[in-house]
A and B are shown apart, each in its own frame.
Chain A
Amino acid sequence: MTGTFVGMPAFPAAARTALADTQLRSNLAHATSTIRAKREAVVGEVEQWEELRLSGAAIKDRALLDLEDHLVRLEAALQDRGVTVHWARDADEACAIVGDVAQAHGLDELVKVKSMATQEIDLNEALAARGIAAWETDLAELIVQLGDDLPSHILVPAIHRNRAEIRAIFRRAMAAAGRPAPDDLSDEPAELAAAARLHLREKFLRARMAVSGANFAVAETGTLVVVESEGNGRMCLTLPEVLVSVVGIEKVVPTWEDLEVFLQTLPRSSTGERMNPYTSTWTGVTPGDGPQEMHVVLLDNGRTRALADEVGRQALRCIRCSACLNVCPVYERTGGHAYGSVYPGPIGAILNPLLRGPDADEQTESLPYASSLCGACFEACPVRIDIPTVLVDLRAQVVDAHRPSRKPEALAMRATSWLFSSAERLRRAEGASGLAGRVMERFGRRSAPGGRRTLSRLPGPGVGWSRARDLPAPPVESFRAWWRRTDGGRSEGDRS
């Protein structure tokens, strides 16, 4: 699979760079706290929210359990309505299919509806290599594309940009891509949106082919669904003659009725709206109305690998709402680029390793550790993906892939296991620590509030801790030693 930002370092190093960017920190804190508050308000007003979460998880689990059957039914229903169905094992196959359709019509450009699947397969880059320009029409995707930038959020890919930066990008890059931004463009949101609207309008009216993804694919009817906010999707889905939709195989739901749940949970979880402004559903070709040639590319690209993972397969329930990103304290501070993928944040920390294999490379291996396991993501997830549990399981897979290991961490964990497997060993170790505590009590120089001696500079691997944090000096007597000396506090006396 691609969709990986080439040359990206492992998470801790990438995060360090991001943390030092004060503009980024400020943009992210503002954007995530705003969207968190919106989400909380609209989720809070749904009395049966927990039931909707359970239903969403159950529908997705049912779809995944008999995935093959549902996909075959979907294929048949699509073909009945005049749609050509393609199956793509990986990114290369999917990109080739889309490129071939464009070339068959002699096209050198197309317009795009915002789509995670096409980001994942690096479709724009593959098409560019064949001389075909793919124009993003979602406002935030346009900002990212014009800025020659990378997306940093699933729903709001330009979340790392503020309006002053967006103005600069429009002024700099719009002219080369089509209609230029006006000379007197300010950073007022309405003016920025107007500039984008005029720029895009030319492309909508000229385009003969569009590429979309799909939020849902209904097996029973062969209906595809796109949920969006700007109307650019509606333009792409209705104006051009040719429409190609790249759909991950996990997007299938068995019945039309299943949409009832997700069309309630998705907008509330993602944009914090009761209902999104545009919900487009289309079922094959309608003669004389809309695109007259339709293709659907059913994309695997690691999804069957994820499906085979007993603990991790629940990640395929994901409806790409990005609620987990907005509530994640790690994401809020690092932003999306640090995760090195179009899928950042908590869902990215599990989805990327599941799609690629947890030990694919050093960057992928670092992702399951990019979490404090605080559980805010699980709480926010509208399809109840237990992200912390999947993270821990993936960590175990990373560790097991390297056994036997002589890394300091592996040795330390073996020693800890040995120590904690016997209370007698632990007691002796604490005795040594108490001795150190006695020395430090006499010579330790700093005191924490409350009077306890602290250590400000730890040796060896402890330096990672003590660069910014003090650590209390070990006590002179462990709890265990106190219990033994005083008979469980019943004969309290001075320590000899």
Chain B
Amino acid sequence: MVTCVNDAMFPDTGRAVVSLLRRLGVDVEFPEAQTCCAQPMVNTGYLGEAVPVVRTFVDAFAGYDAVVTPSGSCAGSARHQHGLVARRSGDPGLVAAVERTGPRVFELSEFLVDVLGVEDVGAYFPHTVTYHPTCHSLRMLGVGDRPVRLLRAVRGLRLVDLPGAEECCGFGGTFAMKNADVSVAMGGDKARQVRGTGAEVLVAGDNSCLTHVGGLLSRQQSGVRVMHLAEILAATEGAAS
């Protein structure tokens, strides 16, 4: 599952996942019937509108061993919210389909560490990096320090601690628009912490959160770029960006 945000806005992240997983010997497919996990609708309260989207999701991914996604938030949506939507739809077929698909959805770092059993993915990235654990990967999925273990094994990479790392960046989906002032106040504090680390790159497992913090860092001409974890793990010597 590449996710709608990555498909439309960050195709490089999706391509990085493909090249990384292939390098590790995984047979990767992109079912073209996929669209979105329905989280934008669910989290704004439009559960009825989410039903056909969840149906599209379970149809697209039926029959695969594992659904891997470069997003803690979308994995959390599939594992923890699809049941809610399906039950409200009153369709027992959808409830059953959701129960089959949900547990097979893995956030990228979970799949690498837990399923493939690797921490050193053979990446090379000679830059100073700080890591922001996104809320849904941290508190909904419980990915713990898996992303950090993966980053520590990247050759050339210097990982610096981000103070207040576990505090939300303020994106929150439609919260970023409906409560834009609070969202920006939260993101401003996160951006300040990031700049204080002296890192060149802010890395996270969700491009949505990175769009928000990165949008602030860019506006501030901060000289800090944001990158998805997958793109760093996919980078190799000679091809590093």
Contacts and interface: CB of A to CB of B under 8 A. Distances in A.
Interface of A: 11-12, 15-16, 19, 329-330, 333-334, 368-376, 378-379, 389, 392-400, 409-410, 413-414, 416-417, 419-423, 426-427, 429-430, 433, 446, 448-450, 454, 456, 461, 464-465, 467-472, 474-475, 477-480, 482-484, 488-489
A449 B199 CA distance: 13
B135 A420 contact: no
A461 B177 CA distance: 8
B186 interface: yes
13 contacts: A375-B135, A396-B45, A399-B46, A413-B46, A421-B56, A422-B35, A433-B8, A449-B224, A456-B219, A464-B180, A468-B188, A469-B219, A472-B9
Contacts of B10: 472, 475
B214 A333 contact: no
B30 A483 contact: yes
Nearest to B187: A469
A477 B7 CA distance: 9
Nearest to B241: A450
Given A375-B139, A468-B184, A479 B15 contact: yes
B30 A333 contact: no
A375 B177 contact: no
A11 B179 contact: yes
A12 B181 contact: yes
A373 B76 CA distance: 12
A329 B180 contact: no
Given A372-B186, A376-B139, A413-B49, A484 B32 contact: yes
Contacts of B175: 369, 371-373
A167 B28 CA distance: 67
Interface string B134-161: 0110111000000000000000000000
B218 interface: yes
Q: Interface centre among B49, B88, B176, by most A CB within 10 Å? A: B49
A472 B214 CA distance: 9
Interface in B41-92: 41-50, 52-53, 55-56, 60, 81, 84, 88
B185 A375 contact: no
B178 A374 contact: no
Given A450-B225, A468-B184, A469-B212, A372 B4 contact: no
B168 interface: yes
B102 interface: no
Given A329-B168, A370-B179, A421-B55, 10 more contacts: A373-B173, A417-B41, A417-B52, A420-B38, A421-B56, A423-B35, A468-B219, A469-B218, A472-B9, A477-B11
Contact of B177 (A11, A396, A464): A464
Contacts of A372: 135, 168, 170-173, 175, 183, 186
A329 B173 contact: no
B103 interface: no
A478 B44 CA distance: 26
Interface string B175-213: 111111111111110000000000000000000000110
A417 B49 contact: yes
Given A396-B45, A396-B47, A469-B184, A369 B178 contact: yes
A375 B140 contact: yes
Q: Interface centre among A369, A419, A456, A467, by most B CB within 10 Å? A: A369
Interface of B: 2, 4, 6-12, 14-15, 18-19, 22, 28-30, 32-36, 38, 40-50, 52-53, 55-56, 60, 81, 84, 88, 135-136, 138-140, 166-168, 170-188, 211-212, 214-219, 222-227, 241
B83 to A, nearest CB: 11
Nearest to A389: B84
Q: Interface centre among A414, A430, A483, by most B CB within 10 Å? A: A483
Given A369-B179, A372-B183, A399 B44 contact: yes
Nearest to A409: B44
A446 B218 CA distance: 9
Contacts of B38: 420
A368 B43 CA distance: 10
B53 A417 contact: yes
Contact of B179 (A12, A392, A414): A12
Contacts of B60: 423
A474 B8 contact: yes
